[in-house]
């Protein structure tokens, strides 16, 4: 802290010394710029003061006034954090609910599959045998149901009394 003050004093002293060496035409331009900035600053603060009075005037109930009131009300840190926390909690609840619904669907699919396997004539170990899976796949390929076009051909190939050799 003391070093900052010492540095500031040194800079101030150097600026004061160099200000005395500025040529008069540059000094006049600097004085004009300072006066202009002071004037602009005063005008800016007078406009802000007028806008505060306008907000209390008849236009206070307009949409812009409502939005401004809402933004002032919502810019409170506690409220902003509460709304953010509520949003995060809602999102977490939605994700958890989605996961539970999908989990329930997977459990019911697994239960249906287990029921089908256990109610089948084959023992459950047969489904674990890769040879049986290959045999069942080949059997399904060979006995495939004909496509739409193939059904007409199959119907035409049947005898007139619709008896088959099966």
Which range, 31-35, 59-63, 69-73, 143-147, has the best average confidence (pLDDT)?
Answer: 31-35
Q: Which residue has the higher pLDDT, 78 or 143?
A: 78
Given this model, what pLDDT does residue 94 score?
92
pLDDT computed for residue 161 by the predictor: 67
pLDDT band at 104 (very low <50, low <70, confident <90, very high): confident
Q: How many residues does the chain have?
A: 166
Return all residues near 30 (Cβ < 8 A) that are at least 6 apart.
22
Q: What's the Cα-to-Cα distance from 160 to each of 24, 49, 155, 164, 166, rounded to whole Å?
A: 123, 103, 10, 10, 16
Q: Could you give the CA distance from residue 90 to residue 84 in angstroms, rounded to a whole number?
A: 10
Residue 163 confidence (pLDDT): 64
Mean pLDDT of 92-117: 83
Give dist(CA 127, CA 44) in Å, integer.
84
Residue located via tokens 């459990």: 107
Q: What pTM value is reported for the model?
A: 0.29
Joined tokens for residue 121: 């004539």
Q: Identify which of 37-51, 82-96, 97-111 has the greatest average pLDDT.
A: 82-96
């Amino acid at each position: 802290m003391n070093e900052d003050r010492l540095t500031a004093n040194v800079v101030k002293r150097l600026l004061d010394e160099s200000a005395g060496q500025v040529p008069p035409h540059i000094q006049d331009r600097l004085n004009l710029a300072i006066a202009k900035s002071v004037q602009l600053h005063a005008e800016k603060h007078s406009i802000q003061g007028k806008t505060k009075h306008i907000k209390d005037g008849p236009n206070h109930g307009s949409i812009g006034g409502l939005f401004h009131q809402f933004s002032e009300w919502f810019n409170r840190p506690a409220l902003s954090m509460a709304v953010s926390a509520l949003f995060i909690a809602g999102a977490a609840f939605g994700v958890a609910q989605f996961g539970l619904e999908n989990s329930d669907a997977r459990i019911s699919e697994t239960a249906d599959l287990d029921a089908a396997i256990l109610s089948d004539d084959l023992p459950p170990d047969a489904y674990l045998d890769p040879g049986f899976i290959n045999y069942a796949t080949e059997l399904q390929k060979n006995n495939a149901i004909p496509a739409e076009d193939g059904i007409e051909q199959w119907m035409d190939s049947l005898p007139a009394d619709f008896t088959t050799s099966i």
